[in-house]
Each structure stands twice: as structure tokens, then as C-alpha cells.
Structure 1
Amino acid sequence: MNINMTLFAQALMFAGFIWVIARFIWPPLLTAIEDRQKKIADGLAAADKAKAELAAADTRVQEEVKAARAKSSEIIEKANQTANQMIEKAKDDAIAEAGRQRAAALAEIDSLSARAKEELRKQVAALAVAGAEKILKREIDQNAHKALLDQLAAEI
């Protein structure tokens, strides 16, 4: 066997092997690699998109939380204002009621004072009559002197 022939046969076999690989194996292998690269690229793009959406969602959540806190602060402030208004109204009502009760008490005091004065006038008139009776040592006719006693009670 000749070394040149062997070398030539091996080169021919190698060329045939390369042709078979290039014709039947390489295109499906490249297609599979390209598909895999596309899937990886799509997956990375989807991950980036998901990260962006997550960031946007976080931003929206933060905005919603801020809005909810602002709304709750507003509601609390309105509740405090309403409570203060109710307290002020209750104070005003209490002051008005105290004024009405004071006026009623003053009216009652005036009425009782007038009754007491009238009662005192009657008692003074009765004492005057009793004193006059003792001085005169006789009984005064009350019907005859009623006008005199009324005048005396009015003067007192």
C-alpha cells in the first residue's frame, strides 16, 4: 500500500464526511441554535418587560398608598373638625340652657321675693292692727278700716 494513496483516500473520505455534515447535519443544527438563541432573546426581553411592568406596578402601588393616606388624613381632619363643631355646639347649648335656668331661677326668686314682701306686709298690717288694738284697748272693726289697712300695706 502506498502512503500517497492512503492519504488521498483519507482526504477523499474526510471531504465526503464534511460534505455530509454540511449538507445534512449542519443546517438543522444551525436552525436549532438559532431557535434557541431566539428563545433566549425572547425570554430576556420578556424578563426586561416584566421588570419594567413590576417597577410601574410598584410606582402605581406607592401612588395609591399615598392617595389612601392623604384621603385618610383628610377624613380624620374632617372628623376632628366635626367633633370640634359638636363640642362648640354643646358648649353653646349648655351656656344657653344655663342662661335659661338662671333666668327661670331669677324669675322664681323675684316671685318668691314678691310673695315674701306681700306676706310681710300682711304680717306687718296684722301686727299694726294688733298693736293699735292694744293701744286702744278695744278691737278695731276690720271691715271699716280695710281701706286704711290696704293703704298702710301699700306704703310698707
Structure 2
Amino acid sequence: MQSYMAHNGEVFKGVPLIMLINGGSASASEIVAGALQDRRRATIVGTTSFGKGSVQTVIPLGADRGALRLTTARYYTPSGHSIQALGIEPDVSISPARLTEEELAKIRRFSEADLPHALANEDGAERHALTMPDEQPPEGYEGEDFQLERAKQMLKDGTITASTGLKRAG
């Protein structure tokens, strides 16, 4: 067995950071995105994440008796916000593919909040309705990953800084 010890402070202090998320980003990736966003250490780019902010523990019931899955905890961002049923909203909304209103309607119905018996957000907050992203791939786009290409371009252009995330106009 090997042990690794964390050291105080940032290894890459001053380096701009972008984290990509989408509706498939759930659980641990949402915790990381929320922490980086809360601490203004990264700019979150993409579309709203899934919204799984709970922890389940599987308890075996014995041979041939199955198991019980029990919700035992909830995840919170460093600022104390629950992501349960809400997800993480990106700082910069960019879709990976060109969307029509019909395709957006299908995406709107796929999140933790839409699952049967899902836990509600304990603050009573509800997931914001998904809207058309600020940016989409151009007509006829033939690249492999529009979000990644845009994130790399933002870093090259200097529109992202390490200490403040997205540079605000003004």
C-alpha cells in the first residue's frame, strides 16, 4: 500500500484554469466544479451539470437477500450551497453541439431532479430552466470538441485569469 500526503498551498498558483461540464457531469465532478467555482479558482464552461448532490451507501442484507441502498449524506460546495437537484451552472454557457429548440427540450428533461423518487433540494430551490447556450458550434462545424476548442481559445486570448476566473468587461 502507498500513501500520498497533500501539501498546503497551490501547486499551480497563478495558472488560469477552465473546467468543462455538461449534463453528464455528476456527483464527484460536480463537487470539484462547485469548489473551483466557489473559490474563484477556475472558470466553469459548458452546460448545467446533472445535479446529483447525495451520497448512497449500499448495505448488503446477507446471502441471496439483496442489498439496501440508503442515502446517507449530501454534498455541499465550500460556500454551503447544495447541488442536489440543481446542478452546477457554468460561468460561460457553451454547448458541445448545435441545438434546436426541440433538442433543448429533450435535454431539459434529463437531470437528477427528473428521476423518480429523487431527493429535492433541501433549500427548496428548483433547477433553473435550461435556455439556449450563449455559444454553439457554427453551422457546418466539423471539429471534434467545440467546448474544448473554445476553452483553449479563451486561455490563449487571455480572457481567463487565474485569480478571478472569467475577466468581466468594464
Q: Which category describes the TM-score, using the shorter chain as reference length?
A: under 0.3
- Higher-helix-fraction structure: 1
